[in-house]
Amino acid sequence: MITSISIENFKGVRERIEIPLKPITLLFGPNSAGKSTILHALHYLREVFERNNPNADATIAGGDFVDLGGFRQLSHRHSLLDPVRISVTLTASIADLPQVAAELPAPSWDIDSDDLLRDITTVRVELEIAWHNSLAAPFVQMYQVELNGQRLLSVVATPDRRDQELRVDMMHPCLQALEHVPELAQTWLGDNDATVARLPALTALLVYLQGQDAIPSSTSAKVDGRPIFSFSFAGGDDASPCWRSVEPLLAAVHFVSHEEQRSRARERRAQAIGMTLPPLDDQEQIDEEIDIDAGNLAVETLGRLLLGPAMLVRKLLSQQIYLGPMRERPSRNFEPPKSPDPARWAAGLGAWDKIFYFNSAKLLEINRWLGDADRLGTGYRLRVRRFVEADFDEPLVRALVEGDYLDLEFGGSSGFDSLQGLPVRRRISIEPVDREIDLAMSDVGVGLSQVIPVVVAAMDETAPLVMLEQPELHLHPAMQVRLTELFIDRAHRGFGPVILETHSEHMILRILRRIRETSEGELPEGHPGLTPDAVSVIYVERENGQVKASQLRIDKTGEFQDRWPSGFFEERAEELF
């Protein structure tokens, strides 16, 4: 689950801001204060990870609502001097990091990358994207991975921006100690070397491949005071055995090595594609001239640490749902397109695409939220009718119309089997809960067409992140309050976080009430509890021309611990008193 995002030098944000994401995250603030900037940063990050496109304008999921305009437009004050920095933090374990070298031959001993890692609970991935003057295009000049809040590795462009360097913290606490991998120590490293025995197992493995000169010492290269392995990207025939073991991994992620790969890299750069961000699909086997078992294990583990976090972030962002501030009504004879398009969610049509294929159990769940009096209580429910289109001259159809169906020869060519093979069609309709009247969405109020996509998005258990702009749009205050219960239910069921960009006073008041009732043991029957640690309230405002984001803490009594900034709920008091 994504737990935070940080943004720097992006759109209206100059100084770094950190946005903690909880199961329910609410973004409040005046119009044009910068709330959407937080959502746009996630769109941009998806563009870079999924399409390797740091010069994004239109986005995969933003539809007509998100146009970043390219790097010059999205950089703060349209300046090309300072890099854009965006990072995301997520909860993750060793098992969550994808295996990126699955095709490598199995080693002759029972050790894999899991054995060389330990106690991973959080992963943070940061990108630094800068402008390349010579190419007149942006590129990813730094890619960094942190585990449990401590930097593990980074890939940075060299000062001349021609090549890159991989730096790995050799003593990171998430690297398993060698003493816990005795088979590795006894097979290759020797258990009499006290210096090597004190190293993490991965570090010791690299020492074995590199030679004893690689053992960390007081003169080793350091980052933040910690020894690192630093791989330059020169390669070649004279490269050390350690380099030759790692080089194919770097080549597999399109770092330069052989001339063909250099040429490919130049071509990619000419297209303004990220320089240091690892493309995440092609992995290759290692140089067979080195120790195969040791080299494979090094590549498997380093590859997992280098690529795994980026692949994990890419997967989460590719499954997110973004619902824009205005939702389209589906047409009277709506059918989804044959090719899925995540951008359809932005205008709400992605929700109708899902409804079209819902099974009866899922549709019942949606209708309970729409129709039940103790939930949204709209008074309507959805139906998905299934039917076949048959020619009027079909014998069965004519018999049914003319009332002669009892005379049909069932099973014959003129009977029911004349309908076999006809395509089954579907049609979405909506009807009042107290009577059967087939209606289209254009036959009912706008508010209903606006809230149904919100309900479908919030109930999607497969979405690791849901971003909703103005979920309260066109809703009566009473329904805004009831809609809040849907988000509380999503949090209670442990689905991914939902980010609500909203101006609704009613929604926050219901959240505060549920927190207080949970604490005091006074929850209404059938309603899930809510605690302060499940809610993040972010107030976004402009101060001296810069976007500022402040988290407003809530205590267990449902009261804000931090003073609400001026210019929001004060209007209600001013009008009343």
Q: How far apart are CA 168 and CA 186, in angstroms?
A: 25
Mean pLDDT (whole number) for 559-572: 75
Quickly tell me which residue has 């190419």 as its tokens. 135
Predicted confidence at residue 36, as pLDDT, reads 95
E strand map for 413-501: 424-432, 466-469, 498-501
Q: Other C-beta atoms within 10 Å of 106: how many?
A: 9
With CA atoms as reference, report the closest residue to 122 among 174, 157, 75.
174
Give yes or no for a contact between 55 and 272, defined as CB atoms under 8 angstroms apart.
yes
Give the bridge partners for 126, in sequence order.
Answer: 87, 144
Residue 62's alpha-carbon distances to 43, 212, 322, 324, 341, in angstroms, are 7, 53, 7, 8, 11
Cβ proximity of 203 and 171 under 8 Å: yes
Distance CA 44, CA 285 (A): 32
Which of residues 507 and 181 earns the better pLDDT score?
507
Q: Where are the alpha helices (DSSP H) in 360-394?
A: 360-371
Q: Which structure tokens are listed for 76?
A: 């703060």
How many residues belong to the chain?
A: 577
pLDDT, position 473: 93
CA distance 200 to 172: 8
Average pLDDT estimate for 500-524: 95
Beta bridge partners of 10: 13, 75
DSSP for 92-109 reads --GGGSPPS-TTSPPPSS
When the pLDDT of each residue in the chain is averaged and rounded to a whole number, the result is 81
Return d(Cα 48, Cα 55) in angstroms, integer.
8
Which pLDDT score, from 0 to 100, does residue 423 have? 78
- Give mean pLDDT, residues 450-463: 96
Residue-wise pLDDT tens digits, 245-295: 444 444 433 322 334 334 444 444 333 334 555 555 544 443 444 456 777
For residue 553, pLDDT over 50 is answered with yes
Tell me, what's the pLDDT at 334?
Answer: 94
Give the model's pLDDT for residue 41.
Answer: 97
Rounded mean pLDDT of 550-571?
84
Contact residues for 402 (Cβ-Cβ < 8 A; gap 6+) = none
Task: Please tell me the pTM assigned to this model.
Answer: 0.85
Bridge partners, 191 (sequence order): none
Give the H or E element holding residue 519.
helix 505-520
pLDDT the model gives residue 294: 72
- Residue carrying structure tokens 């090549």: 163
Q: Is 170 exposed, middle or buried (0-12, 13-18, 19+ CB in 10 A)?
A: buried
* pLDDT score at 269: 39
pLDDT tens figures, 319-331: 999 999 999 999 9
pLDDT at 416: 61
From CA 57, how far away is CA 505, in angstroms rounded?
33
Greatest mean pLDDT range, 119-128, 148-157, 543-552: 119-128
**Section 229-233 average pLDDT:** 51
Residue written as token pair 């988290």: 551
Crossing angle of the two packed helices 292-318 and 241-252, in degrees rounded to 10: 30
* Among 54-58, 215-219, 275-279, the range of highest mean pLDDT: 54-58
Lowest mean pLDDT among 4-18, 345-359, 541-555, 562-576: 562-576
